[in-house]
Amino acid sequence: MKKQENITREPVVDGVAASGTSNASTASTASNASSASSGSSGSDASNPESGLSRRTFVKGASVLGALAALGGGVGLFTRAATTQEALAAEDDFEVRHAFCQMCGPARVHCSTHCYLKEGRWLHVEGNPLAGNNASPGSKTLCGKGQSAMQVLYSPSRILYPSKRVGNKGEGKFERITWDEAMDIIVTTLKEQKEKYGAHSYGVLSPQFYSVLGTLGRRFLNVHGSPNYLHSGICNSQRFFSRQVTIGGSTHDKANGTDSTQLDKTKLLVLWGYNTENSAINQGNPKTRLDAMEKGLKVIDVRPMMDAMASKADVWVPVRPGTDTALVMSILQVIINEELYDKDFVENWCLGFDKLAEHMRDFTPEWASPITGIPEEQIYEVARMMGTVKPMGINIGNGVGDQHNDSHWGVACMCLISAITGNLGIAGGGSANMIMPPSLIKTKPIDLLPERLPQSQEDVENGWMAGVGNLVAPETPRWFQRAETQESGPTSAYFKGLMSVLTGEPYPLRFVFGQSSNPLSATRQPKKVAKALQGLDFYLVMDTQWNSSCIYADVILPACTNYETSQQFAVRNKANGTWIGMNQQIAEPLGESRSDWDFYVDLANRMGYGADFWHGDMEECLREQLEPSGISLEELRASNEGIFIERTDGSKPQEPEYQNYAELFKDLPEGKVQCFNEWIGGQLNNLGTGTLAYLPEYKGPAENLSTTPDIAKEYPLVITDVHAYRLCNHGYYVGVPYLREYQPYPWVKINPATAKSYGIGDGDWMRIVSPHGQIQMTAKYFEGIAPNVLMTRRGWWESCEELGLPGYTGFDDGSEVNVLYDSNPENFDLFNSAMSKQTLVKISKL
Amino acid sequence: MSNQQYGFYTDTSRCITCMACAIACKQWNGIKAGTVARRKVHTIDTGTFPNVTRTFISMNCMHCSQPACALVCPAGAISKREEDGIVVVDKDRCIGCKYCFFACPFGIPQYNEDGMDKCDCCLGNGVPSGGTPHCITACPTGALKYGTTSELSELVAEKTVRFIGVESLPSSVVT
Ligand code: SF4
Ligand code: SF4
Ligand code: SF4
């Protein structure tokens, strides 16, 4: 450019820039992918040093930076801002296949082509062979996927093993070798097993993580601990509730209406379902938009008007935390106005009369002041749901697992599907298409459940092995059977960590946080930090520094998916079956190592080598691939995967409709549990009392309608989105291409409310609840009720390239979990769901 | 394909502001975060709670039939290609005066140390004239389309969506 100086006006047109809308909840769409094997990491959290305010963020950033720099920085994304400079044509690139890791560690949702030049990964796009986004030939990826290069080359990668040299929480570490690190871990685990029993070891489960779900679980079983500390913020919660209400035996069915049957659905109700933020390139919302163009009607229930909610026919902005009251009143109208299918109810429902009697007073008039939804709208929605057929309900994370009464909310939604005759019909619920068999067979990693010791207590009670020893059973012990929890026993994440503080029933001694930041992945970081501090041993393995690292005894550097070739996936589609494997596209940075290699090595060093391929992950992969007839070498050499076309003409089949005897076969009396005889009267998960037979609304611990005294001082409701399209929970917030669109911790606020407090758009504000306080920037948004705030958790990552800091996770930081109640007695007593709603007061900072 | 006019449109009924197009543009053109944005996704919210209407539109250079930017450029750095109508910038000639920014009805031109920068339909990163630009390839919902004016007109005729025409310049879109 030739220079010339005569600029008068700043030419930046960013005024209207991409507003990050977002929203409340989500649903994990059942991905069509399947077996996975190894990879790397990523998960959730926030930062140390309470009292770190926005004004001292530079200091905060240096705290974060210091830890990130633990192993020295690596070169970052260095390509200059040249634009017209011609990049060479595509055929000058080397193209390698990898699974995108941006929806979480070791995921295999989107298969990608990675474009490398001179060994450096520069560009990425979808692999057209893999059928991403429910579209054969698709090269699409979401915004996160488009940024994946910056994760590999991030300056905050952890590069070397280190051990703590100061006090826990002080953040002082010293670099050690892998051998030293492994020796410390092995010695500690062996000593503790001897002294306290193997169950003193627990692992934190972030969102579903293949490494942990396979090798991690196998290690627990062989070591002898049942303590898989499950987040409870999961599809599983919905699944358990659905299972005990209307049956269903696989996780696939937990989401309700099959997207491949949407062309037959007339009315789709989305409840706390946020796939435009959680699963953009996994077929939904694309398939939903297609169906809407062909006339599908949509009711979208969630507190904030996210993109897809704005396209719905009816938007129901339910007050956060009150969904169960709303669905109960809808059920009441359907029963009261006799909008149900009488034949179905007569033949296939258990205790319908008791339910009808019980529901009588839960009218729209009762629900309206609780939920903030006008009575007329409740009637309108109820009548639509009761009369339009086929009707499907998709239940997302927003409602299924983040309320104190999640179980009953989900149960009522299932009951509505059932009594309106929408189960087992095309376009309704429980009527998935049946795919022709996969043309490629692989062997899943055996979890070796039989290796977990069965105690006398387990035997006497008929429990699955290990259940008696759980530190904090996620679902009631009596419910944890092989048929109900396929992958084994589970403890609840938060309640399990609290054992360190309470010593009840015994304290965990060793916790492994792999790709999960407990200071953001669950409630109340202040209590979690105390627990981590009180632990004998906290081990972290992650790709990037996270704020819980300062409590670690040993920190291990994990490599990303892109630095290893240890994960494959099989996708069975109508037109054929595809198998693809990650190619290694870069040497592991520093001394980072794959999580898969770590596990088999750990097991080997523990003396469990015979069950862990003697430490050789290649052997593990060969074993998995064996039935396919495709060798590991062949699969790797194929680069973009192998597609086997279906030539026998078989097509996806419609299921046998209305086969209720089969659908309900595992339910008491083989019927829908309107009066729940499966769980009612049985011990709850705390062992403190029994569960109810009929729906109950509990609501959050602090709530406008049930705690008016608290509401006087704290007049606004706050909650946070489960998923956001520019990060993965708290992970990847520091990725430059993504951070650009959400530079500062944000909270969506109705402009009228903000103005009444003198808070301008973009201003920092203080948000105070009875449990803590945080600081966020206001984002004006009309698509949210004047008494509701919506934010996003997990802001510990800094972004060096944009000069933006990370924010702490305690008081005066920006971690919304600080605000929420965390009394385990308030959590859902069946599935351990924890509410993420509370009352707050706000002021301008 | 001589004398074609290529253009873009966003099917606002399908756009979900996922930002895939905007970020695809950056990564394929080697543009650093926090610098220029050749493609931006705008959100226009109207009404008050709970009666709110939201419109999402992904925007880049319109490759106008009579580009105002080129008309005002004192250095002759901006030109419209005969063969495909793509409006391109010759950075060697650009003097950084920013007249084009003031002239453009959409405020598209941005500047970095090399001069004015805007969408070139991915010509600079190796997509041939008439090929599919990376932002189009990226869009997970199929909201973003690229084609000749006649192809796009056909598409638009089929659907009642807002069309950013290359000739009609509805500046009201950006409010
Ligand atoms: S006037 Fe603006 S939109 Fe039109 S060609 Fe020039 S830069 Fe593009
Ligand atoms: S056509 Fe290419 S340069 Fe233009 S906006 Fe799309 S990706 Fe960017
Ligand atoms: S990629 Fe498509 S859906 Fe996403 S913001 Fe761009 S145009 Fe909209």
pLDDT tens for A692-741 read 999 999 999 999 999 999 999 999 999 999 999 999 999 999 999 999 99
- The CATH number for A756's domain is 2.40.40.20
Residue B43, pLDDT score? 96
Angle in degrees, 0-180, between the axes of helices A406-419 and A323-336, rounded to the nearest 10: 30
Judge whether A120 lies within some domain. Answer: no
Task: Please indicate, yes or no, whether residues A759 and A815 belong to a single structural domain of this protein.
Answer: yes
Which percentage of chain A shows pLDDT scores above 70?
A: 88
> Is pLDDT of A52 > 50?
no
* Residue A80 scores a pLDDT above 70: no
Q: Which residues of A touch B116 (CB under 8 A)?
A: 1
Instruction: Look at residue A46 in the predicted model and tell me its pLDDT.
Output: 31
Judge if A316 and A402 occupy the same domain.
Answer: yes
What number does the ligand 2 atom closest to the CA of B8 have? 1
Contact A3 B53 (CB under 8 A): no
Task: Compute CA A343 distance to the chain's CA centroid, rounded to the nearest angstrom.
Answer: 39
Residue A124 with chain B: CB contacts under 8 Å: 27
pLDDT band at A83; cut points 50, 70, 90? very low
* Neighboring chain B residues of A289 at a CB cutoff of 8 Å: 13-14, 141-142
| B173 pLDDT higher than 50 | no
* Judgement on whether residues A254 and A335 belong to the same structural domain of the protein: yes
Question: CB under 6 Å to ligand 3: residues?
Answer: B 10, 15-21, 41, 56, 58, 138-139, 141, 143-144
Which helix (H) or strand (E) is A514 found in, with range? strand A510-514
- Of ligand 2's listed atoms, the one at least distance from the Cα of B138 is 7
pLDDT band at B172 (very low <50, low <70, confident <90, very high): very low
- pLDDT tens-digit map of A185-220: 999 999 999 999 999 999 999 777 899 999 999 999
**A393 and A334 within one domain:** yes
Query: Taking CB atoms and an 8 Å cutoff, what residues of chain A touch B109?
Result: 11
Q: Taking residues B6-26, report their average pLDDT.
A: 96
Overall average pLDDT of the A116-139 stretch: 93
- Hey, what are A671's tokens? 């019927």
Is the residue at B98 inside a domain? yes
In which band, very low, low, confident or very high, does the pLDDT at A107 lie, cut at 50, 70 and 90? confident
| Tens-digit pLDDT profile for residues A15-32 | 222 222 232 233 333 333
Q: Averaged over A592-615, what is the pLDDT?
A: 98
Instruction: Give pLDDT, residue A27.
Output: 31
Chain B residues touching A18 at Cβ < 8 A? 17, 19, 22, 40-43
Instruction: Indicate the residue among A673, A698, A726 that finishes a domain.
Output: A673
Question: Percentage of chain A with pLDDT > 90?
Answer: 81
Domain co-membership, A411 together with A263: yes
pLDDT of residue A1: 55
Domain identity same for A663 and A728: no
Best residue of B21, B43, B92, B111 to probe chain A, by most A CBs closer than 10 Å? B43
* Pair (A669, A763) in one structural domain: no
Asked whether the predicted pLDDT for residue A250 surpasses 80, the reply is no
Is A44 within a domain?
Answer: no
Name the DSSP class of A758: T
Is A6 a residue whose pLDDT tops 80? no
Sheet holding A120-126, edge to edge: A94-99, A111-117, A120-126
pLDDT category of residue A258 using cuts at 50, 70 and 90: confident
Q: How far is B58 from chain A (nearest CA, A)?
A: 9
pLDDT band, very low/low/confident/very high, at A9 (cuts 50, 70, 90): very low
A45 belongs to a structural domain? no
Domain of B79, in residue numbers: 6-170
Q: Residue A99 is encoded by which pair of tokens?
A: 């699974």
Output the pLDDT for position A209.
87
> What is the pLDDT at residue A38?
36
Confidence (pLDDT) at A256: 67
Q: Do A142 and B48 touch (CB under 8 A)?
A: no
pLDDT, tens digit, 9 for 90 and up, residues A742-789 = 999 999 999 999 999 999 999 999 999 999 999 999 999 999 999 999
Which residues 35-54 in chain B show a CB within 8 A of chain A? 35-38, 40-45, 47-50, 52-54
Rounded to whole angstroms, the Cα distance separating A301 from A267 reads 13
Terminal CA-CA length for chain A: 43
3-state SS, one letter per residue, for A108-146: CCCEEEEEEECCEEEEEEECHHHCHHHCCCCCCCCHHHH
CA distance A24 to A315: 13
pLDDT of residue A67: 28
Q: Using the predicted structure, report yes or no on whether residue A5 has a pLDDT greater than 60.
A: no
CA–CA separation, A343 and A75 (whole Å) = 68
**Contacts of residue B62 in chain A, CB cutoff 8 Å?**
none
pLDDT tens profile A281-330: 998 899 999 999 999 999 999 999 999 999 999 999 999 999 999 999 99
| A289 vs B29, B75, B141: nearest CB | B141
Ligand 3 atom 6: residue of nearest CA: B21
Flag whether A730 is in a domain: yes
Q: Is pLDDT larger for residue A679 or for residue A484?
A: A679
For testing contact with chain A, the best of B32, B42, B53 (most A CBs within 10 A): B32
Predicted confidence at residue A32, as pLDDT, reads: 32
Residues A722 and A805 in one domain: yes
* CA proximity to A402, closest of A835, A26, A837, A820: A835
Residue A84 confidence (pLDDT) above 50: no
* CA-B124 nearest atom, ligand 2: 3
Please identify among residues 132-171 of chain B the ones whose CB lies closer than 8 Å to any CB of chain A: 134, 137-142
Number of domains in chain A: 2
Q: For residue A783, give the nearest of B28, B29, B45 by CB distance.
A: B45
| Smallest CA–CA distance from A143 into chain B, residue | B20
According to the per-residue pLDDT averaged within each range, which of A45-49, A669-673, B167-171 is highest?
A669-673
CATH number of the domain to which B139 belongs: 3.30.70.20
* Within-domain flag for B12: yes
B17 touches chain A (CB under 8 A): yes
Kindly tell me if the per-residue pLDDT of A818 is higher than 80: yes
Locate the chain A residue with the closest alpha carbon to B27: A123
Same domain membership, residue A311 and residue A357: yes
* Contact criterion met (CB < 8 Å) for A83 and B112: yes
pLDDT at A76 over 70: no
Distance B122 CA to ligand 1 centre (A): 16
CA of A769 to the centre of ligand 1 (A): 50
Domain assignment of residue A817, given as a range = 708-844
Which of A3-7, A295-299, A651-655, A820-824 is predicted least confidently? A3-7
Instruction: Give mean pLDDT, residues A538-565.
Output: 97
A642 Cα: distance to centroid of ligand 3 (angstroms): 30
> Cα(A475)–Cα(A491) distance, rounded to whole angstroms?
8
Residue A80 maps to a domain = no
- Is the CB of B25 inside a 6 Å radius of any atom of ligand 2? yes
Residue nearest to atom 1 of ligand 1 (CA): B104
Report pLDDT for A72: 26
CATH of the domain at A303: 3.40.228.10
Tell me the three state secondary structure of residue A123.
strand
pLDDT of A336? 98
Q: Which residue has the tokens 């979808």?
A: A126
Asked, for residue A31, whether it belongs to a domain, the answer is no
B27 interface with A at CB cutoff 8 Å:
yes
* Residue A486: inside a domain: no
Q: Is B1 inside any structural domain?
A: no
Mean pLDDT across the stretch A805-812? 95
Query: A283 and A420: one domain?
Result: yes
Burial of A514 (0-12, 13-18, 19+ CB in 10 A): buried
* Share above pLDDT 90 across residues of chain B, in percent, rounded to a whole number: 82
> What integer best gives the mean pLDDT of chain A?
88
B171 has a pLDDT exceeding 70: no
Query: Ligand 3: which residue has its CA nearest to atom 1?
Result: B139
Closest C-alpha to A514, from A538, A541, A543? A541
- Write down the pLDDT at residue B123: 97
> What is the residue-wise DSSP string for A139-182?
----HHHHTTHHHHT-TTB--S-EEE-S-TTT--EEE--HHHHH
Give yes or no for B109 touching A (CB within 8 A). yes
Residue B175 lies in a domain: no
Give me the interface pTM, i.e. the ipTM.
0.92
Taking CB atoms and a 6 Å cutoff, what residues make up the pocket around ligand 1?
B 61-64, 67-69, 87, 104, 106, 108-109, 118
Q: Are A662 and A786 part of one and the same domain?
A: no
- Cα separation, B86 vs B130, in Å, equals 10
Residues A417-474 pLDDT 10s: 999 999 999 999 888 888 999 999 999 999 999 999 999 999 999 899 999 999 999 9
The partner residue sitting opposite A308, judged by closest CB among B16, B26, B134, is B16
Domain total for chain B? 1
Instruction: Tell me: do A360 and A304 sit in the same domain.
Output: yes
Question: Is A141 in contact with B47 (Cβ distance < 8 A)?
Answer: no
Q: Is residue A298 part of a domain?
A: yes
B129 touches chain A (CB under 8 A): no
| Assigned domain for B35 exists | yes
Comparing A164 with A20, which gets the higher pLDDT?
A: A164
